[in-house]
Structure 1
Amino acid sequence: MPSIYFDHAATTSMNAEVIKAYVEAASGAPGNPSSLHAQGRAAREKVSSARDRFAGILNCEPSELVFTGSGTESDNSALFGAAHAQLKRGRKGIVTTAVEHHAVLHACRQLESQGFSLTILPVDEFGRVSLADAQAAIDDTTAVVSVMAGNNETGTLQPIAEIGEWARKHKALMHVDAVQAFGYMSLDSRELPIDLLSLSAHKINGPQGVGLLYIRKGTPFQPLLYGGTQERNRRAGTENVAGIVAFAKAAEMAYGHLQARREHTENIRGSLLKALTEQLGSNSFMINGHPDYRLPQILNLSFIGISSESMLMNLDLEGVSASGGSACTSGSLKPSHVLSAMKFSSERLSSAVRFSFGLGNTREEAEKTAKITATISARLRNR
C-alpha cells in the first residue's frame, strides 16, 4: 500500500543531496576536529565551513554559533546556561509560555526547583500569547524569557519580536525555540531582538541528532556540558562532523528556496482543508490554531465525536501517517498540554489530529487523505 507521510513536524526524510553531503563527510579519513594533525585539521575545516554557512543564513558571526546534539539540547543549554549566568547578576525570574515544547517547559520547571521564580504565560483560544501579559511578567529581576517562534502542534506564531524588545528594555535575555519555524520563516539575528536561538536539523530534511544554538556576542552564558574545550568552551564533546556538514547543506537548501517551501506546504494544507470541507462539511471538524499568525506546514483539526487514537489508527491502516493532539507517556494517554492551555473542551482535546506537510507531498495526496478521512469518519460515527 502506498504511504502518505503527513507527519513532517515530527521528523523529515533526508534530502538526497543532504545524504550525499553526509556520506562524503563520513567517508573520508577519520578526523577529530580537536586533533592537530592533518586529519584533525581537515575535520575542523568541515565544521568551520558549516558554521560560516549558518552565519550567512542567520546573519550573525560564526563565533556566535554552537553545534549541539539536538534541538532539545539547544533549548536546555540556552535556558540553563543563560539562567545560571544571570543568577550571578541577581536575576532569578524565568518567563515562558504554557504552549512551549517540553524541552523548554521541563527545563524551566527544573530551574524552578533550583530556586528560580517561574512565570508561565497563558494563551488565548488560538494558542497565542498576549503581549500585555508578557510585559506584565517581565521586569528588572527577570533572567530569561523563552518564547517559541511557531508551535509544533498548532503552528501558531508568537510575537517574539515585540516580547524580545520588552525583554531587552529590562536587560532580560530572550531565548527563542525556532525548531519548528526554521526553514519556513526568516530568522535574522540582527533584526530580531533575541539573544539565544535553538534549531534542529531533522525538521528541515537534515539528519537526526544535530542541533544548533545561536548565542549573541556578549550574552552571559554557562555551559551545560563539561569535559572539553570544543565550541569555544561552550559545549564539550567531539563534534558530529558528518551531521554538521549535512545540517548546513539542508539549511542552505531550505533557505535557498524559502518562499517555494512556504508556498508548497501552504498549497498542500489548503488542498486538504478544501477537500475535507467538500467530503465532510465544515461542521464536521474544527481548526485548532491561529487563522492568520501561523506556520504554513501544520494543520491541527478536531473531529468531534471521534477519538484521535481511533482516527490515527484507522489512518495508519490506510497508509496515512499523522499525529495526535495527545501524547503517550508511560503507557497512559494524557491530553496535549498545548491544546489544554487553549482551554478546549474535553471533546475537542480528545479528537485532535495534526497533519504536517513537507517536501514530496502532493495535492493528490491531500485529496486522497480527505477521502480516506471522510470514509473513516462515516464508519466510526455510524457505530
Structure 2
Amino acid sequence: MKNIYLDNAATSPILPEVIKTITGSMSSFYGNPSSIHQIGRKAKSLVETARKNIAKHFNASANEIVFTAGGSEADNLILRNAVTNLGVTTLISSKIEHHAVLHTIKDLEKEFNISVHWVDLDENGILNYEHLEQLLQQDTSKKMVSLMYVNNEIGNFLDIEKVSNLCTSNNALFHSDAVQAIGHFNMNVKEVPVDFFAASAHKFHGPKGVGFAYIKKGFGIYPILHGGEQERGARAGTENVHGILGMEKALELAYLNLKEDEEYIKKIKNYFIKELKKSFEGIIFNGCSESENKSSYAILNVRFPKEYSMLLFNLDLKGIAVSGGSACQSGSNKGSHVLNAILPEKEQNKTSIRFSFSKFNTVEEIDYVIKNLKQIIK
C-alpha cells in the first residue's frame, strides 16, 4: 500500500539535513547551556548563534527571539504577558484563530475580567477591516489585536500590513500567530512592524517540540514557566539544544529554497484543484483556499456536496493521510470551529477535508488520491 502524506499543515516531514544536524548535536554538544564549563559553554554558544541566525531571516535582533516548546507556548507567553504585564485590558481577535489563541483569550477573560471583541468575518472567512478599525477606536482602553497570518484550516491570508498600520495608528499592540507562515513566506519586522509573532519548527520541516516567540525590543516579558533564568528570564527550563539547532537548519533551508519550493507546490495544488473540479460535480473550496492570491499555496480545504461520514477513515485505509479541519481537533466530534464560524448550518454538515502540501508531494500522488476518492465516493 502507498503512503501519501497530504497533512503538512499538521506537521511536516523532517528534512534529512535537519536530522543530520540534530543527531550530530546530540552526540557532540550534549552540555547544559547554563553550565560554566567548556562543554556547557559550547552548547550555549551554539544556541546563541542559532538565535542570531534565526533573527536575521526576519530582520530582527537576536534578543527579540525567545525559544519555546512550539507555537502554542509562544502564543500563550505573548497573550498572557499582554494582560498581566503590558497593561492590555482589551483583546481583539477572530473566531477562526487557532485554539492556542482562542482558548488562551477565553482563560484570560475569565481570570482578569478583560474585554474581548471578535472581528466580523464574511462567508469566506475574510476579515472585516472596517469593523476592526471600529473596535480599535471605540474606547481608550489599552488594546492588543491577535490575528493569524495564515489560517491553518482554510489557508486565508491576513492583510498583515493593513492590520499593522491600523494598530500603529490606534496605539494598539499587534500579535500574529504566524505558525503557518514562517518558513513559507518572507516576513520583515522592519517593513511590517508587528510587535509579537509565534512560530513552530515542525511546520517547516524541522523537529517537533521547539519554536519561538518574536517579542519586539522594549517589551519586558515575564515567564509563564518558573524555575530558572534561561532565555534572559523569559522562560525557565534547560534549552532544547538539538531542537533549536534543528530548527535553525530547517529555517535556513526553507528560506534558501523559498521561491523554488513555492512554485513547485503551487503547481501541485493547482493540478489537484483542476482534477477535483473535473471529477466531482458540486465541489466547493472553503474559505479562499482555491485562490492563489488570497490563500497559502500549501493548503486546500475541500467541501464535498454531501456528508460522507467514513471518507477520512477510508482514505486512511488507502494510505492517504489528510485532516478534517485541523489535526489539533482529530477525534473531536464537534467539527471544525473555523468552518462552523463561517458556513451556514446546512453546509457545516457536509464533509470537508483539508489537504496540505509540501515539496515532497508529486503529481502521481495526486492522481492516486483522485482515483481513490472516486472509488470511495461512488
1:96: which partner in 2? 93
Match of 1:111 among 84, 108, 113: 108
Paired residues in the alignment total: 372
Task: Output one character per residue of 1:136-166: Cα deviation in whole Å (capped at 9) or x when no partner.
Answer: 1124313321000000000001122211211
Q: Which moved more, 1:328-337 or 1:220-229?
A: 328-337
- Conserved 8 A contact 1:22-1:246: yes
The residue matched to 1:333 in structure 2 has which SS? Answer: coil
Q: CA 1:209/1:330 → structure 2, altered by over 3 Å: closer, same or farther?
A: closer
2:211: which partner in 1? 211
Query: Displacement of 1:332 after TM fit?
Result: 5.2
Task: Output one character per residue of 1:152-200: Cα deviation in whole Å (capped at 9) or x when no partner.
Answer: 0000011222112111222221101010111221111111121001000
Which runs of structure 1 show a deviation greater than 6 angstroms over 4 or more consecutive aligned residues? 326-331
The residue matched to 1:205 in structure 2 has which SS? Answer: coil
1:121: which partner in 2? 119
Q: CA 1:68/1:365 → structure 2, altered by over 3 Å: closer, same or farther?
A: same
Within 5 A, what are the aligned runs for 1:135-284? 135-139=133-137, 140-281=140-281, 283=282
Distance in 2, Cα, partners of 1:273 & 1:299: 8
Q: CA 1:228/1:144 → structure 2, altered by over 3 Å: closer, same or farther?
A: same
Q: CA 1:82/1:224 → structure 2, altered by over 3 Å: closer, same or farther?
A: same
The residue matched to 1:75 in structure 2 has which SS? Answer: helix
Tell me whether 1:58 sits opposite 2:55 in the alignment.
no
Distance in 2, Cα, partners of 1:330 & 1:200: 19
Q: CA 1:297/1:118 → structure 2, altered by over 3 Å: closer, same or farther?
A: same
- Conserved 8 A contact 1:339-1:349: no
Distance in 2, Cα, partners of 1:250 & 1:65: 16
Query: Displacement of 1:346 after TM fit?
Result: 3.1
1:304: which partner in 2? 305
2:24: which partner in 1? 24
Amino acid at match of 2:356: S
The residue matched to 1:259 in structure 2 has which SS? Answer: helix
Tell me whether 1:295 sits opposite 2:296 in the alignment.
yes
1:130: which partner in 2? 128
Distance in 1, Cα, partners of 2:320 & 2:207: 23
Amino acid at match of 1:286: I
- Conserved 8 A contact 1:22-1:245: yes
Query: Displacement of 1:331 after TM fit?
Result: 6.2
Distance in 1, Cα, partners of 2:259 & 2:327: 32
Distance in 2, Cα, partners of 1:26 & 1:46: 12
The residue matched to 2:333 in structure 1 has which SS? Answer: strand
Q: CA 1:185/1:33 → structure 2, altered by over 3 Å: closer, same or farther?
A: same
Amino acid at match of 1:13: P
Distance in 2, Cα, partners of 1:301 & 1:22: 36
The residue matched to 1:58 in structure 2 has which SS? Answer: coil
TM-score by length of 1: 0.93
Distance in 1, Cα, partners of 2:350 & 2:278: 24
Q: CA 1:361/1:293 → structure 2, altered by over 3 Å: closer, same or farther?
A: same
Distance in 1, Cα, partners of 2:41 & 2:125: 47
- Conserved 8 A contact 1:276-1:371: no
Distance in 2, Cα, partners of 1:135 & 1:300: 29
Query: Displacement of 1:306 after TM fit?
Result: 2.7
Query: Once superposed, what is the RMSD of the aligned Cα atoms?
Result: 1.7
Amino acid at match of 1:133: H
Task: Output one character per residue of 1:321-355: Cα deviation in whole Å (capped at 9) or x when no partner.
Answer: 11003779696500211011113333444411000
- Conserved 8 A contact 2:323-2:330: no
- Conserved 8 A contact 2:34-2:44: yes
Amino acid at match of 1:126: N
- Conserved 8 A contact 1:33-1:44: yes
- Conserved 8 A contact 1:46-1:245: yes
Q: Which moved more, 1:161-170 or 1:351-360?
A: 161-170
Distance in 1, Cα, partners of 2:215 & 2:328: 33
Distance in 2, Cα, partners of 1:116 & 1:328: 27
TM-score by length of 2: 0.94
Query: Displacement of 1:238 after TM fit?
Result: 0.7
Distance in 1, Cα, partners of 2:270 & 2:329: 32
**Unaligned 5+ runs, structure 2:** none
Task: Output one character per residue of 1:99-119: Cα deviation in whole Å (capped at 9) or x when no partner.
Answer: 100000000001111211111
1:381: which partner in 2? none
Amino acid at match of 2:143: A
Task: Output one character per residue of 1:262-299: Cα deviation in whole Å (capped at 9) or x when no partner.
Answer: 11221111111111222224x2x110021331000000
- Conserved 8 A contact 1:288-1:302: yes
Q: CA 1:332/1:12 → structure 2, altered by over 3 Å: closer, same or farther?
A: closer
- Conserved 8 A contact 1:306-1:377: no
